[in-house]
Amino acid sequence: MKKNLVWLLILVFTIGCMPISIFADGQIADSVYLNGNIYTLNEKAPKATALAIKGQKLIFVGHDKDVKAYIGKDTKVIDLGGKTVTPGLIEGHMHYPGLGQSLLLLDAFWKPKADILAAVKAEADRLPDGEWILGRGWNQEVWPGAQFPTKEDLDAVAPNNPVSLERTCGHAIWVNSLALKLGGITKDMANPQGGEILRDKGGNATGILTDTAGSIIEKNIPTFNEARKKEALIKAQAELFSYGITTSMDAGSGIEDIKNMKDLYQSGDLKIRLYTMASSGETAQAFYKTGPEVGLFNDRLTINCIKFYADGSLGARSAWMLKEYSDRAGHVGNGRNSNDIFYDMVKEARAHGFQVATHAIGDAAVNQCVNTYEKVLKENPLADHRYRIEHFQVATLEDIQRIADIGIIPAMQSVHATSDKNMAEDRVGSERIKGAYAWRKVINAGSIIPNGSDAPVELVNPYHGLYAAVTRMDRDGVPVGGWYPEECMTREEALKSFTIWAAYGQFQDKSRGSLEVGKLADFTVLDRDVMTCPASDIKDTNALITVVGGETVYTKAISKNLTVMAKGVETKIATTTIGNELYVPIIETAKALGLKYSANLNTISITKDFNPIILAIDSKNINKNGVEYKAANAVKSVKGITYMPVSYLRDYFGYHVMTYTGSNILSINF
Ligand SMILES: [Zn+2]
């Protein structure tokens, strides 16, 4: 965590005895945020310092002096301390359940082996017997001895749950005996083509399977059950809120995903706003019977769009190109549908009143989309169709102009350009690359670009996307100056691509994407000004507070709840960090430890074993039994609560103190 602890000083106070005055429009806000550096994304009034919220909407956006009229006696007033605020970020193309399910995997990324085994044991203790434990990221090269791990390591901690942990490279898995048994891997089984079952001297599988040998196990892993799928949806929400994303989307949901989402909105577990594209096929057919569902659960869930696929990916050379690949003669990739079939699919969606979004990466796939959309819209016109092409990675210069003319929206993910740059140029060569990831040409032609991450394909962090959009460099700063830097977005365009443009792509620009009176109170407080900070710092931005519909759904942790174990009794204590020191609230801690205490204006006296210790607030001295001690860190008063460093418990009270930051446990022994 950085030095954002000034943040501590944010004051939350209610005005006790505000005189009843004549308010601007008679409205009293539930909450008011002031003293902010607010980018509204409203072109008529782009900057503000204050917001007033009632219910889930904004009733005022403007300046501090004018917001006072909205403050009543019960209004919560938050001083933003000059921090930067943007509209809640909108993730314009990702796979929501997929992100959540990837977060369910145990994170073994380059961790010590003992830590990984402890995490596997914790999962085994938590899950019913027989349930799979899945993870990824281990790397034996960082362990002492650099030896491959074994099935026995896992058997010792999880004998009754099959375990499969993928190596960091993705080309090997580490499994336990139960997983080998379920996969039918025996001593006699030969290595499959393209993979190896690693064996000991006796010929028995050791628990490491490479490439296609791993697939033997992986095909036996059942999909998550309903409870775990719901857990995944909640995990994805927490992840997105931690980045300041208030509206997300799912580029292709099945019937079951949508049912799970609805259950979780009903129970109040989901609060994020979701724009859900129904997958073509059975899900689309089900929705064609009932029509679009817009603004369910207080404007949280909308199903208004059908997701199609026109091709594959450039990496796999399955993106569909008009001419052969530059690095594979005679090969043009794979279109998913004939022109006639695709026309029927789009026509059907149009007839049932749904927006259309089609995954198209190669220039042939893009061209099929443009031709088909144009034809359907000519036959059955719709003034405001907002038909989308997802990714729009390689397009002819003609099609870049045609989509602008027809009003087709290219949903492009800026991080793809910086991840794919070398591979993409190999695939399409130096001429076609001019129409690839060509944001400047797209915007200059008259289009807008909803941005996004395509998570879990890429990390969901939207600040990586903003950074890629304005620099066209990867996060190591390569290439210096950017890859085809003439295609960069301006910072303003990049921020629009994650807010108002993304909202427009979802027919939601009337309710969100900018901070204006009458719109939803969805916004994000950031730790830096992304519009003025050095471009290279944009990628490291942190969201400090995320607000959805006036409700704070995320606050960056500046304090931790510690479980204090004292005399075998557990108490939860909210600690805080000041500088690099961990502080505990004095009175609460004294209570937990069963100590006598009394507080005066400037001192707190605590008595342990009949020895009074006097802590002077905000002074550097401590008096113990009449003797003055110089304390390294003063006792601090924050928001009316007095804290002392945890180390005082050891230094002045003689406790044996141990903290376990991983588990947030503070153990105090006598
Ligand atoms: Zn996608």
pLDDT of res. 109: 75
In the reported structure, the alpha carbon of residue 361 is separated from the centroid of ligand 1 by a whole-number distance in angstroms of 11
pLDDT top residue among 135 and 624: 135
Q: Which long-range contacts does 457-461 make (Cβ < 8 Å, 24+ apart)?
A: 457/95, 458/413, 458/415, 458/416, 458/419, 459/415, 460/91, 460/94, 460/99, 460/239, 460/240, 460/243, 460/245, 461/243, 461/539
CATH architecture group of domain 226-555: Alpha-Beta Barrel (3.20)
In the reported structure, the alpha carbon of residue 87 is separated from the centroid of ligand 1 by a whole-number distance in angstroms of 24
Across 74-100, average pLDDT: 94
In the reported structure, the alpha carbon of residue 276 is separated from the centroid of ligand 1 by a whole-number distance in angstroms of 13
Would you give the DSSP letter of residue 458?
S
In the reported structure, the alpha carbon of residue 537 is separated from the centroid of ligand 1 by a whole-number distance in angstroms of 27
In the reported structure, the alpha carbon of residue 206 is separated from the centroid of ligand 1 by a whole-number distance in angstroms of 37
Q: d(Cα 515, Cα 497) in Å, to the nearest integer?
A: 15
- What is the Cα 521 distance to its own chain's centre? 19
In the reported structure, the alpha carbon of residue 171 is separated from the centroid of ligand 1 by a whole-number distance in angstroms of 23
In the reported structure, the alpha carbon of residue 452 is separated from the centroid of ligand 1 by a whole-number distance in angstroms of 9
In the reported structure, the alpha carbon of residue 307 is separated from the centroid of ligand 1 by a whole-number distance in angstroms of 10
pLDDT top residue among 137 and 626: 137
Q: If you average pLDDT over every residue of the chain, what do you get?
A: 89
DSSP string, 207-229: EEEEHHHHHHHHTTPPPP-HHHH
In the reported structure, the alpha carbon of residue 415 is separated from the centroid of ligand 1 by a whole-number distance in angstroms of 13
Q: d(Cα 450, Cα 389) in Å, to the nearest integer?
A: 10
What Rg value do the Cα atoms of the chain yield, rounded?
29
Name the CA dihedral angle for 50, 53, 56, 58, rounded to a multiple of 10 degrees. Answer: -60
Q: d(Cα 569, Cα 382) in Å, to the nearest integer?
A: 67
Amino acid, res. 156 = A
In the reported structure, the alpha carbon of residue 318 is separated from the centroid of ligand 1 by a whole-number distance in angstroms of 15
Task: Tell me: pLDDT of 507 over 80.
Answer: yes
In the reported structure, the alpha carbon of residue 283 is separated from the centroid of ligand 1 by a whole-number distance in angstroms of 17
pLDDT top residue among 603 and 441: 441
Per-residue pLDDT tens for 334-392? 999 999 999 999 999 999 999 999 999 999 999 999 999 999 999 999 999 999 999 99
pLDDT top residue among 587 and 24: 587
Q: d(Cα 367, Cα 362) in Å, to the nearest integer?
A: 9
Q: Which helix (H) or strand (E) holds 238?
A: helix 226-242
pLDDT of res. 15: 36
Domains of the chain, by residue range, sit at 105-218, 226-555, 563-669
pLDDT of res. 63: 96
Six-digit token string for 517: 């009176």
In the reported structure, the alpha carbon of residue 251 is separated from the centroid of ligand 1 by a whole-number distance in angstroms of 6
- Count Cβ atoms below 10 Å from residue 346 Cβ, excluding itself: 24
Q: Which long-range contacts does 252-258 make (Cβ < 8 Å, 24+ apart)?
A: 252/95, 252/277, 252/278, 252/279, 252/307, 253/96, 253/97, 253/277, 253/278, 253/279, 253/283, 253/303, 254/279, 254/283, 255/282, 255/283, 255/286, 256/226, 256/229, 257/96, 257/97, 257/229, 258/283, 258/303
pLDDT band for 325, please (50, 70, 90 cuts): very high
In the reported structure, the alpha carbon of residue 113 is separated from the centroid of ligand 1 by a whole-number distance in angstroms of 34
User: CA angle, 475 as apex, 470 and 480 as ends, to 5°?
Assistant: 70
In the reported structure, the alpha carbon of residue 341 is separated from the centroid of ligand 1 by a whole-number distance in angstroms of 22
In the reported structure, the alpha carbon of residue 546 is separated from the centroid of ligand 1 by a whole-number distance in angstroms of 25
In the reported structure, the alpha carbon of residue 455 is separated from the centroid of ligand 1 by a whole-number distance in angstroms of 7
In the reported structure, the alpha carbon of residue 238 is separated from the centroid of ligand 1 by a whole-number distance in angstroms of 20
All residues at 6 or more sequence positions from 35 whose CB lies less than 8 Å from its CB, including other chains: 49, 50, 64, 79, 80, 81, 82
Pairing assessment for the beta strands 273-279 and 301-309 based on DSSP bridges: parallel
pLDDT of res. 12: 36
Q: d(Cα 474, Cα 471) in Å, to the nearest integer?
A: 8
Question: Closest by alpha carbon to 470, among 404, 530, 541, 409?
Answer: 530
pLDDT top residue among 419 and 306: 306
In the reported structure, the alpha carbon of residue 371 is separated from the centroid of ligand 1 by a whole-number distance in angstroms of 22
Contact 50, 32 (CB under 8 A): yes
User: CA angle, 156 as apex, 153 and 160 as ends, to 5°?
Assistant: 115
In the reported structure, the alpha carbon of residue 294 is separated from the centroid of ligand 1 by a whole-number distance in angstroms of 22
pLDDT of res. 22: 40
- Which SS3 state, helix, strand or coil, does residue 357 take? strand
All residues at 6 or more sequence positions from 280 whose CB lies less than 8 Å from its CB, including other chains: 306, 307, 308, 309, 345
In the reported structure, the alpha carbon of residue 313 is separated from the centroid of ligand 1 by a whole-number distance in angstroms of 10
Across 46-70, average pLDDT: 97
% residues pLDDT > 90 (the chain): 67
Contact 353, 385 (CB under 8 A): no
In the reported structure, the alpha carbon of residue 413 is separated from the centroid of ligand 1 by a whole-number distance in angstroms of 9
User: CA angle, 521 as apex, 519 and 526 as ends, to 5°?
Assistant: 125
pLDDT of res. 333: 93
In the reported structure, the alpha carbon of residue 185 is separated from the centroid of ligand 1 by a whole-number distance in angstroms of 35
In the reported structure, the alpha carbon of residue 93 is separated from the centroid of ligand 1 by a whole-number distance in angstroms of 6
In the reported structure, the alpha carbon of residue 145 is separated from the centroid of ligand 1 by a whole-number distance in angstroms of 40
Contact 134, 107 (CB under 8 A): no
Q: Picking from 220-229, 303-312, 518-527, which range would have the lowest pLDDT averaged per residue? A: 220-229
Contact 183, 200 (CB under 8 A): no
Task: Tell me: pLDDT of 648 over 90.
Answer: no
In the reported structure, the alpha carbon of residue 416 is separated from the centroid of ligand 1 by a whole-number distance in angstroms of 11
In the reported structure, the alpha carbon of residue 364 is separated from the centroid of ligand 1 by a whole-number distance in angstroms of 18
pLDDT of res. 292: 98
Per-residue pLDDT tens for 98-120? 999 989 999 887 788 998 999 99
In the reported structure, the alpha carbon of residue 275 is separated from the centroid of ligand 1 by a whole-number distance in angstroms of 14
pLDDT top residue among 334 and 26: 334
pLDDT of res. 142: 75
In the reported structure, the alpha carbon of residue 240 is separated from the centroid of ligand 1 by a whole-number distance in angstroms of 16
What residues pack around ion ligand 1 (CB closer than 5 A)?
A: 251, 454
Task: Tell me: pLDDT of 407 over 50.
Answer: yes
In the reported structure, the alpha carbon of residue 95 is separated from the centroid of ligand 1 by a whole-number distance in angstroms of 6
Per-residue pLDDT tens for 242-265? 999 999 999 999 999 999 999 999
In the reported structure, the alpha carbon of residue 359 is separated from the centroid of ligand 1 by a whole-number distance in angstroms of 7
Instruction: Name residue 196's beta-bridge partners.
Output: 210
Pairing assessment for the beta strands 551-555 and 543-548 based on DSSP bridges: antiparallel
pLDDT band for 606, please (50, 70, 90 cuts): confident
Q: d(Cα 208, Cα 173) in Å, to the nearest integer?
A: 6
Do the two domains 105-218 and 226-555 of this chain adopt the same fold?
no
All residues at 6 or more sequence positions from 641 whose CB lies less than 8 Å from its CB, including other chains: 585, 587
pLDDT band for 670, please (50, 70, 90 cuts): low
In the reported structure, the alpha carbon of residue 456 is separated from the centroid of ligand 1 by a whole-number distance in angstroms of 9
Q: d(Cα 280, Cα 276) in Å, to the nearest integer?
A: 12
In the reported structure, the alpha carbon of residue 534 is separated from the centroid of ligand 1 by a whole-number distance in angstroms of 30
In the reported structure, the alpha carbon of residue 424 is separated from the centroid of ligand 1 by a whole-number distance in angstroms of 17
Contact 664, 561 (CB under 8 A): yes
In the reported structure, the alpha carbon of residue 478 is separated from the centroid of ligand 1 by a whole-number distance in angstroms of 25
Task: Tell me: pLDDT of 145 over 50.
Answer: yes
In the reported structure, the alpha carbon of residue 94 is separated from the centroid of ligand 1 by a whole-number distance in angstroms of 6
Per-residue pLDDT tens for 445-487? 999 999 999 998 888 999 999 999 999 999 888 899 999 999 9
Top mean-pLDDT range of 4-13, 137-146, 180-189: 180-189
In the reported structure, the alpha carbon of residue 545 is separated from the centroid of ligand 1 by a whole-number distance in angstroms of 27
Query: What CATH code is assigned to 563-669?
Result: 3.30.457.10
Task: Tell me: pLDDT of 562 over 60.
Answer: yes
Would you give the DSSP letter of residue 99?
H
Task: Tell me: pLDDT of 434 over 80.
Answer: yes
Across 289-310, average pLDDT: 98
Across 196-203, average pLDDT: 94
In the reported structure, the alpha carbon of residue 584 is separated from the centroid of ligand 1 by a whole-number distance in angstroms of 46
In the reported structure, the alpha carbon of residue 286 is separated from the centroid of ligand 1 by a whole-number distance in angstroms of 22
CATH architecture group of domain 105-218: Roll (3.10)
Give the residue carrying structure tokens 């994407």: 513
pLDDT band for 10, please (50, 70, 90 cuts): very low
In the reported structure, the alpha carbon of residue 253 is separated from the centroid of ligand 1 by a whole-number distance in angstroms of 11
- Residue 475 Ramachandran class (φ > 0 left, ψ -120 to 50 alpha, else beta): alpha
In the reported structure, the alpha carbon of residue 409 is separated from the centroid of ligand 1 by a whole-number distance in angstroms of 15
Task: Tell me: pLDDT of 299 over 80.
Answer: yes
Give the residue carrying structure tokens 């208030």: 246
Pairing assessment for the beta strands 636-638 and 31-34 based on DSSP bridges: unpaired
In the reported structure, the alpha carbon of residue 167 is separated from the centroid of ligand 1 by a whole-number distance in angstroms of 24
In the reported structure, the alpha carbon of residue 465 is separated from the centroid of ligand 1 by a whole-number distance in angstroms of 15
Instruction: Name residue 325's beta-bridge partners.
Output: 328
Q: Picking from 77-86, 494-503, 610-619, which range would have the lowest pLDDT averaged per residue? A: 610-619
In the reported structure, the alpha carbon of residue 218 is separated from the centroid of ligand 1 by a whole-number distance in angstroms of 23
pLDDT of res. 11: 33
Question: Closest by alpha carbon to 578, among 5, 11, 7?
Answer: 5
Q: Which helix (H) or strand (E) holds 125?
A: helix 113-126
In the reported structure, the alpha carbon of residue 390 is separated from the centroid of ligand 1 by a whole-number distance in angstroms of 7
pLDDT of res. 597: 84
In the reported structure, the alpha carbon of residue 651 is separated from the centroid of ligand 1 by a whole-number distance in angstroms of 56
Task: Tell me: pLDDT of 97 over 70.
Answer: yes
Across 66-72, average pLDDT: 95
In the reported structure, the alpha carbon of residue 97 is separated from the centroid of ligand 1 by a whole-number distance in angstroms of 12
